[in-house]
Chains A and B, each alone.
Chain A
């Protein structure tokens, strides 16, 4: 809900089409393109009327913008998928590039480091946007950890198929976050956060995780204080 709060605060009209389900990425990434295709087509049909589709995950955004054209080649939704791809935006990208807002009136008086989620970074080239937004949050001290661009090790089914590799990568990420002295590790992808959070809590770390949208949702007037729950499920 935090993403919705921020979008409304800057004056957007937000709708949540209840017919939506999944973008299809789990099947697509596992090689089940034939199973992913109808789910992707459903996504295109559900969102075809939207002016802009905002998604608090670089990964799901990538699925639609980068992979739908390939997945839906030769289907009757091929052209529509391409056009929808240009209207789907990752949350920070939307705020900066579409809405043209850098200051959303947030307040979060904590030391924060940012993990650049891979799909957002390398498929969508999102990085300055996130820093720009964080720099305008009152009281927030942005600390760059070493290798913020290195993968956290989540990788979808990779996290369970190759748990030991995934966890070792997560440990490296956790160590980097701890070493920089941040209280919070923020990111723009809920799946990375769920993984990093699980690693951090398993090692009883002091560092907590939070979604960028949740950072931006906090205001001075309504500062709920740091939540016990590490990251909010703000996306669906």
Chain B
């Protein structure tokens, strides 16, 4: 059996070598960067906006017990149901039981990473239900039987040609005219035709929630396609599922969070559809579901809440900006991570949600460049948390004995200038000697992991220390 770490190395090597794929991602990110520059111009002070969002989330998380209960009370008052799910299994169980009891055969889903986290679709399909992703990108990756590549842009890795080919294979009926067309309007129309039927036969609509608003008892959903509106208005039952960290204190907080989410996520000034939903259809209303359920998911989040050092990871609004900013993500792509949440936020979060020992490698798979932290609109200290995870791994998880011994030896050598100089001179002489003997790159060469990908650095004959003694100190 391969471990997640071995699988990551394999996938990362394959993806790093996939130049066309990297080019496609690079192109998407270039477009995103240009849009973000534009989106930021709506703020007089974008740094101030980031700070404000940080403070809103900080307040919410440090009073989570109060705001969640307030949210629940207000949802109940309008006739909605709130279910507290400790684990992914609890959440799946609740939704599956509800769907079974209500005789649900078809489910339409709006984009939700939490449903990916708990593998909800597979659970419902196992019960014989048909589940349709209705966000275009999610719909595309669902047809390919893949998880989303990116938390905001699920089909980022695919070109128009890839999608046209996929649709010709899987949606032959919907691709009525111009079967050879790769034009986006044509492809969108095909998806729309295929999904329209699903919308009107579904008994249950499942969505995530970008924010849970405590004082209003409402959920806020942001999309660019409006699929959430159809999916929550037509089916009899609406189930929303969200992590407990999604709660914000006040409705007015959205005045800052919505534009920041849009700018950080896609470079828009505001997303196309921002919906507020507060309960089932009330008497006198002409549309809306008969039942409204909100599932609040913990699934490891309270452990993170208890960790004062990394609590701010729960600020995350899932905008995806750290993924776009990350040179590692741009090189290996989202699938290589093998986790629901990829990129910097995934590398920080996953060890907390799924186990430090199995997912510590992700915290090492970073050059610690800090581009993620600079990009984060809610100021999560992402790259420093990678360092914290590494420290936690050394303290509490399995690391290779050779590495542990190596650093003990290193510590010994670094605590004396004489030993430091000695190790340096022996190292230089050894490498020079080996390379002169033509043994560069062999198992004897201490630089082989370096020279596998790069030319060996010129090894100076003398140390700085020696040069300093000879003529530096004058």
Q: Which residue of A lies closest to B452 (CB)?
A: A163
Contacts of A170 in B (CB 8 A): 453-454
A108-129 to B contact mask, C-beta < 8 Å, 1/0: 0000000000110011000000
Q: Give which listed residue, B328, B393, B457, contacts A169 with CB less than 8 A.
A: B328
Q: Is the CB of A38 within 8 A of B411?
A: yes
Interface residues of chain A: helix, strand, loop or mixed (majority): helix
Contacts of A155 in B (CB 8 A): 366-369
A196-225 to B contact mask, C-beta < 8 Å, 1/0: 011101100000000000000000000000
Given contacts A21-B417, A122-B374, A229-B458, contact A165 B369 (CB under 8 A): no
Q: Is the CB of A30 within 8 A of B390?
A: yes
A8-35 to B contact mask, C-beta < 8 Å, 1/0: 0000000010111110101111111101
Contacts of A16 in B (CB 8 A): 464-465, 468, 472-473
Q: Is the CB of A118 within 8 A of B394?
A: no
Which chain B residues in 283-312 approach chain A with CB under 8 Å? none
Contacts of A197 in B (CB 8 A): 455, 457
Contacts of B454 in A (CB 8 A): 167, 170, 195, 198-199, 201-202
Q: Is the CB of A38 within 8 A of B327?
A: no
Given contacts A151-B371, A154-B367, contact A1 B407 (CB under 8 A): no
Q: Which residue of A lies closest to B336 (CB)?
A: A165
Q: Which residue of A lies closest to B390 (CB)?
A: A31
Q: Which residue of A lies closest to B423 (CB)?
A: A21
Q: How far is the CA of A35 from the CA of B414 in the complex (A)?
A: 10
Interface residues on B, range: 35 or more
Taking the complex as formed, is A166 at the interface, i.e. its CB lies under 8 A from any CB of chain B? yes
Stretch among B10-18, B49-57, B72-80, B133-141 lining the A interface: B10-18
Q: Is the CB of A165 within 8 A of B16?
A: yes
Taking the complex as formed, is B450 at the interface, i.e. its CB lies under 8 A from any CB of chain A? yes
Q: How far is the CA of A157 from the CA of B332 in the complex (A)?
A: 18
Q: Is the CB of A31 within 8 A of B369?
A: no
Contacts of B395 in A (CB 8 A): 31
Taking the complex as formed, is B426 at the interface, i.e. its CB lies under 8 A from any CB of chain A? no
Given contacts A16-B473, A158-B365, A195-B454, contact A165 B12 (CB under 8 A): yes
Tell me, rounded to whole Å, the shortest Cβ–Cβ distance linking B59 to chain A. Answer: 25
Taking the complex as formed, is A86 at the interface, i.e. its CB lies under 8 A from any CB of chain B? no
Given contacts A29-B390, A236-B464, contact A160 B449 (CB under 8 A): yes
Q: Is the CB of A194 within 8 A of B457?
A: yes
Q: How far is the CA of A159 from the CA of B452 in the complex (A)?
A: 11
Tell me, rounded to whole Å, the shortest Cβ–Cβ distance linking B16 to chain A. Answer: 4
Which chain B residues in 441-460 approach chain A with CB under 8 Å? 449-458, 460
Interface residues on A, range: 35 or more
Q: Is the CB of A27 within 8 A of B453?
A: no
Which chain B residues in 337-379 approach chain A with CB under 8 Å? 364-371, 373-374
Tell me, rounded to whole Å, the shortest Cβ–Cβ distance linking A185 to chain B. Answer: 14
Taking the complex as formed, is B437 at the interface, i.e. its CB lies under 8 A from any CB of chain A? no
Most buried by A among B22, B369, B371, B394: B369
Tell me, rounded to whole Å, the shortest Cβ–Cβ distance linking A171 to chain B. Answer: 9
Tell me, rounded to whole Å, the shortest Cβ–Cβ distance linking A177 to chain B. Answer: 15
Which chain B residues in 404-446 approach chain A with CB under 8 Å? 404, 407-408, 410-411, 413-417, 420
Taking the complex as formed, is A153 at the interface, i.e. its CB lies under 8 A from any CB of chain B? yes
Q: Is the CB of B415 within 8 A of A21?
A: yes
Which chain A residues in 33-87 approach chain B with CB under 8 Å? 33, 35-36, 38-39, 42
Taking the complex as formed, is A132 at the interface, i.e. its CB lies under 8 A from any CB of chain B? no
Q: Is the CB of B453 within 8 A of A164?
A: yes
Contacts of A194 in B (CB 8 A): 457
Q: Is the CB of A158 within 8 A of B417?
A: no
Q: Is the CB of A236 within 8 A of B463?
A: yes
Most buried by B among A33, A35, A165, A234: A165
Given contacts A29-B390, A30-B390, A168-B22, contact A161 B364 (CB under 8 A): yes
Taking the complex as formed, is B1 at the interface, i.e. its CB lies under 8 A from any CB of chain A? no
Tell me, rounded to whole Å, the shortest Cβ–Cβ distance linking B32 to chain A. Answer: 14
Taking the complex as formed, is A102 at the interface, i.e. its CB lies under 8 A from any CB of chain B? no
Q: Which residue of B lies closest to A201 (CB)?
A: B455
Given contacts A30-B394, A30-B407, contact A18 B453 (CB under 8 A): no
Contacts of B464 in A (CB 8 A): 1, 16, 233-236
Tell me, rounded to whole Å, the shortest Cβ–Cβ distance linking A42 to chain B. Answer: 6
Taking the complex as formed, is A148 at the interface, i.e. its CB lies under 8 A from any CB of chain B? no
Q: Is the CB of B465 within 8 A of A29?
A: no
Q: Is the CB of B411 within 8 A of A35?
A: yes
Q: How far is the CA of A16 from the CA of B462 in the complex (A)?
A: 16
Contacts of A154 in B (CB 8 A): 367
12 additional A-B residue pairs with CB within 8 Å, beyond A31-B395, A155-B367 = A16-B468, A18-B465, A30-B407, A31-B387, A122-B373, A150-B371, A151-B371, A158-B364, A164-B12, A167-B454, A198-B453, A199-B454
14 residue pairs from A and B, CB less than 8 Å apart: A29-B368, A30-B403, A31-B392, A31-B393, A35-B408, A157-B364, A158-B368, A162-B12, A165-B332, A165-B365, A170-B454, A198-B453, A234-B464, A236-B464
